[in-house]
Structure 1
Amino acid sequence: MSSRMQGYLFVVITMCIWGSFTILSRLNAQWHISAWDIVALRFTIGFCILMPILIFRRETAFLWKKEPFILGLLGGVAYCLTAYSAFHYVPAAHAAIFLNGCIPLCTAVAGFFLFKQPFDKHIWLSLVIMLAAVIGMSVLMYEQTHVAFSFGDGLFFLAAIWWGTFTVLLKQWKLSAWQAMSGVAIWSALIYLPLYVCFLPKHWHDATVMHFMIQGVFHGIFVVIVATLTYIAAIERLGAFKAGSIVTLAPFIAALLAVPLLNEPLSGAVVVGLVGMAIGALQPWRWIFRKDALETQLEQQKLNPSVSKDES
């Protein structure tokens, strides 16, 4: 396979895992698996797989710096607790709107407040579209149920804030993909598991062993390790913009699949939110501009064949 085809293959794998994350996380509520338990299961499995590898490779020195600890606290413990908890209150479509749809916006805002990174014109346009979508959705929901936003929506938005901050810090600190993945997984376990064992409620008797095994393997291995590696491999072969734009579609597709798979309703208000947040997150106009720029470049080469491709 060519490098380009490999990139698309890795994108498909990542989309399948990220889309399944929405469906299976919502199934936790139906299978009576609490957020406390699934987070503990995820961190335990990730720790048991990655820590022996780090010890074998003698690469544990970076763990004792402040950066992996902070990233584990934000992108591991805080994000997982709020995101998994939210799935117990609202349908999967709300995750696509208030979590995945808001992550690009929260990332831009975090970059501005933490490191004074300015908004470009694409961010401002996305902000306007997203605000219009949220306002339109909230008005329609209030007319139907007299409730504009729910507690679960607030948890999803808080999770987007954690992940946006995590993304900005990860980019600023320039940790390698392996260090970021293993550092977050290991520190998340070291921070959360002692608190879980000593203080937090446990509901292991409420769900079947098979359900715990399915969730543990998926969230502890596929989400933590496989999806991270395939997403990085896709970026290396296709570029961050193309890979990121395609993969962002996964949660929105999962929200639509949740209607027949989980028998979840899809109201007009939710459709307005999904469409608006998808447009704001994907920024489709950037594809148009990139296509126009490429066509202009090709026209210049035809008019002046002596100019090399690199020079044009």
Structure 2
Amino acid sequence: MALSDRAQGYFFLITTMCIWGGFTLTARLNALWHINTWDIVALRFSLAFLILMPILLYRREASFLLKKEPFILAMIGGVIYCLLAYSAFHYAPTAHAAIFLNGCIPICTAIVAFILMKQAFDRHTWASLIIMITVLGIMSLLMYRESGIPFGAGDGLFFLSAIFWAIFTVLLRKFQLSAWQAMCGVAIWSAVIYVPIYVLFLPKDLSTPEPQHLMFQTIFHGIFVVIIATLTYVEAIKRLGAFKAGSITNLAPFLAAILAVPLLNEPLSIAMLFGLLGMAIGALQPWRWLGRQDALSQKLEQQKKQSS
């Protein structure tokens, strides 16, 4: 029995959520397993390159790689973003990533879109901006009262990661590459540029971590995060729409932050709980769901009146 488009959409959506939530948890595990940032970034893109490049050559689709757009996207959303994000997990726990990275991405994207594409803020963006600024202000006061230090180096790196991912997202929209081209371009160009620099100049520490830990992280980040999650997310958008797919998958990092408490023994203070809840509301914009449900109810009511 074949699944309906809606059921397929939710299957792809759940798959994407599991991988994205897993990215947050496993990126933190890199710090606990003593896998440094330079190594995991090189391993991630090397494996993706070895898988994707032969496919492009076999299908004779590699010519688009010679354009400047895939290269720019790879440098911003591939090399720089990954180095910043993976480094941040060595300084801050999972809950901080959900707040300062995933929570800030939507508003950073709106700001970058305004700067680069003159796209004005709508009322939903303004509401999110007000909520997030208020939440960060209150959370910083709570953190200062708890520890005397409102923010750390990891928080700053997460926020920089959010800015670069926002730039990547806006440029991806502007360049109008397909999901397949964007994924292949980022993975391949990142490997071509970063891996030689890593081999020749950057510090390596592949002997300290356990081999099974290295293998697990390489497979998960090189295949599941880079390739599978991109394709499942695109398929979910096709079947469920961008708003529903984007809103639900944005829950993944916040759920991962909660799971990190029992799984990774990470503390979760009152300030962090407040930040998670507030940033989740600002990022997910739940009032838009209410508006859509009201519109749907009105449409159904009109259809009933017409049928009667």
TM-score band, normalised by shorter chain:
over 0.9
Note the C-alpha offset of 1:206. 1.2
In structure 1, what is the equivalent of residue 60 of structure 2? 58
In structure 1, what is the equivalent of residue 167 of structure 2? 165
Note the C-alpha offset of 1:190. 1.1
In structure 2, what is the equivalent of residue 88 of structure 1? 90
Q: In the alignment, residue 3 of structure 1 is paired with which amino acid?
A: D
In structure 1, what is the equivalent of residue 303 of structure 2? 301
Structure 1: which 5+ runs fail to align?
Answer: 307-312
Note the C-alpha offset of 1:303. 2.6
**Is 1:252 the equivalent of 2:254?**
yes
Note the C-alpha offset of 1:73. 0.4
Note the C-alpha offset of 1:300. 1.9
For 1:83 and 1:158, how far apart are their aligned partners in 2?
8
**Is 1:9 the equivalent of 2:11?**
yes
**Is 1:139 the equivalent of 2:141?**
yes
| 1:183-198 correspondence to structure 2 within 5 Å | 183-198=185-200
- Given the alignment, which residue of 37, 42, 56 partners 1:40? 42
For 1:223 and 1:66, how far apart are their aligned partners in 2?
24
**Is 1:111 the equivalent of 2:113?**
yes
For 1:141 and 1:29, how far apart are their aligned partners in 2?
23
Q: In the alignment, residue 212 of structure 1 is paired with which amino acid?
A: L
Structure 2: which 5+ runs fail to align?
Answer: none
- Secondary structure, aligned partner of 2:159: helix
What are the Cα deviations for residues 234-290 of structure 1, in whole angstroms up to 9, with x where unaligned?
Answer: 000000000111111000000000000000000000011100000000000000000
In structure 1, what is the equivalent of residue 157 of structure 2? 155
In structure 1, what is the equivalent of residue 216 of structure 2? 214
For 2:304 and 2:48, how far apart are their aligned partners in 1?
54
Q: In the alignment, residue 82 of structure 1 is paired with which amino acid?
A: L
**Is 1:286 the equivalent of 2:288?**
yes
Note the C-alpha offset of 1:13. 0.5
For 2:147 and 2:303, how far apart are their aligned partners in 1?
59
For 2:124 and 2:192, how far apart are their aligned partners in 1?
39
- Secondary structure, aligned partner of 2:207: helix
- Secondary structure, aligned partner of 1:203: coil
What are the Cα deviations for residues 82-122 of structure 1, in whole angstroms up to 9, with x where unaligned?
Answer: 00000000100000000000010111011000010000000
- Secondary structure, aligned partner of 1:135: helix
- Secondary structure, aligned partner of 2:43: helix
**How many equivalent pairs are there?**
306
For 2:175 and 2:284, how far apart are their aligned partners in 1?
26
Note the C-alpha offset of 1:304. 2.9
- TM-score w.r.t. the length of structure 1 is 0.97
Q: In the alignment, residue 200 of structure 1 is paired with which amino acid?
A: L
For 1:200 and 1:133, how far apart are their aligned partners in 2?
38
For 1:139 and 1:102, how far apart are their aligned partners in 2?
18
Percent identity, aligned pairs only, is 66
For 1:17 and 1:205, how far apart are their aligned partners in 2?
27
Q: In the alignment, residue 4 of structure 1 is paired with which amino acid?
A: R
Q: CA RMSD in A?
A: 0.9
In structure 2, what is the equivalent of residue 204 of structure 1? 206
**Is 1:20 the equivalent of 2:22?**
yes
- Secondary structure, aligned partner of 1:202: coil
Note the C-alpha offset of 1:302. 2.4
